[in-house]
Amino acid sequence: MAGLTPSQTVGPYFAYGLTPGGKYDWNDAFSNDLVTPDASGDRIRIAGQVFDGDGAVIPDAMLEIWQADGQGRYANPRDTRALPNAAFKGFGRCGTSAKGEFAFDTIKPGVVPDPDGKPQAPHILLAVFARGMLLQLYTRIYFEDEAEKNAADPVLALVPAERRATLIARRSGGGADYRFDVHLQGDNETVFFDV
């Protein structure tokens, strides 16, 4: 068995390669807009900021999300359930702004089973990369308006009750906007998972 190639920080200068956003002479492979025209389900926007242990915003973080489509189906060959899948790919990437802000336009994911076949509440996986992080952190975004499903979710159940709120995206403003902040450290430290 071969040992892994270890992780190293994404560093401060990834933007021109990974999130050029029209500012450099390079095209974006990925976007923070995951919505495809044929994707069914509720269109949502998740926005927030990333903070360090001093509560300062992190202007050089990269966030990646991975999620199922509105039917709860992953666009990946390992998901072999007989569910329809649109052109929706389920992967998005966003670099933070000078104010540490990010946003994803996507659709609300459906229900995905856990290893025992029990339903998990709708959730999105989030990976955080930044200068000063030697490897990415993984967390999950759940939704405030799925209280009943959240209460039965097997992963949320592992999280101490007083910390669960860090994993719940809150409705903000009207319509389909959610707020989800990431705190790498501190009193409101986001729950991260050892996967």
Partner 1 sequence: MTLIYPRESNQANPPRLFPGYKSTSKRSPQKPLILMRQTLSELTGPVYGHETVRPNDHDLTIQHKGEPLGERIIVHGHVRDEDGRGVPNTLLEIWQANACGRYIHVVDQHPAPLDPNFTGTGRAQTDADGYYRFVTIRPGAYPWGNHLNAWRPAHIHFSVFGHAFISRLVTQMYFPGDPLFEFDPIFNSVLDEKARMRMVSNFDLENTKPDWALCYRFDIILRGRDATPMETK
Q: Are 108 and 70 in contact (CB under 8 A)?
A: yes
Cα dist from 175 to 36, 106, 155, 163, 178, whole Å: 19, 14, 27, 26, 9
Binding span for partner 1 by CB under 8 A among 41-49, 68-76, 142-150, 172-180: 68-76
Binding span for partner 1 by CB under 8 A among 40-48, 100-108, 154-162, 170-178: 154-162
Out of 21, 31, 52, 86, the only residue in the binding site for partner 1 (CB under 8 A) is 52
Q: Which is nearer to partner 1, 45 or 140 (CB)?
A: 140
- Ranges within 5-24 binding partner 1 (CB under 8 A): 5-18, 20, 23-24
Other Cβ atoms less than 10 A from the Cβ of 26: the count is 14
Residues 155-174, one symbol each (x = binds partner 1 by CB under 8 A, - = not), give x--xx---x-----------
DSSP at 65: E
End-to-end CA distance of the chain: 20
DSSP at 23: S
Q: Which of 50, 31, 19 is nearest to 105 (CA)?
A: 31
- Ranges within 81-120 binding partner 1 (CB under 8 A): 89-91, 112-115, 120
Residue 75 interacting with partner 1 (CB under 8 A)? yes
Residues touching partner 1: how many (CB under 8 A)?
A: 77
Shortest distance (Å) from residue 189 CB to partner 1 = 5
